[in-house]
Amino acid sequence: MAAFFASRSKHVCPVKLNQVLFYSDFVHHATYGRSISGAKYVRRIDGPIIDNYASVLKTLFYAGVLKEKAGSAAGKEFIVHEEPSILEFSLLEILTLYWVHAEFGDWTGSEIEEYSQQESLYRFTRQDECIAYEYSRFLAKIPADPTPFDE
């Protein structure tokens, strides 16, 4: 998922990457009943964040998924190391990723972070506790027609 967003966005900083991953997981859960990654997200003062996010970022760098963009301050902007394969995702997961990119792709990390702090699921969760995926149905934005084809 990280490579998908880093390859399609002009500016991907740690904050923006975290937020689009959050929305991908929670929108997918709201729409199809399960998250894409299964990651835990914790309520922090600045918004929802993947549990142990610093470790996740290190893993993405060491695995060669992401690298720092030339000319950016250390750790401030990412690009993909090589073009990602979307074949690892189901069709419904791909639809979710494209929907999140269409909704938030042009937003800055700060804009998405501020927006996520207004979400009911964020406000329903106590500080430093995991945000329950069951709250995903309270997201302000969810795809109107999650399956644009007959199953």
pTM of the model: 0.90
**Residues 6 or more apart in contact with residue 21 via CB below 8 angstroms:** 1, 2, 5, 37, 39, 50
pLDDT value for 110: 94
pLDDT value for 73: 60
Q: Please choose, from the candidates 116, 106, 81, 93, the residue with its C-alpha nearest in 3D space to the C-alpha of residue 12.
A: 106
pLDDT value for 151: 47
Reported as a single tens digit per residue, the pLDDT across 107-130 is 999 999 999 999 999 999 999 999
pLDDT value for 75: 58
Q: Where are the domains of the chain?
A: 2-138
Tell me which residues of the chain have a pLDDT lower than 50. Answer: 150-151
pLDDT value for 16: 96
Q: Is 33 exposed, middle or buried (0-12, 13-18, 19+ CB in 10 A)?
A: exposed
pLDDT value for 149: 52
pLDDT value for 87: 87
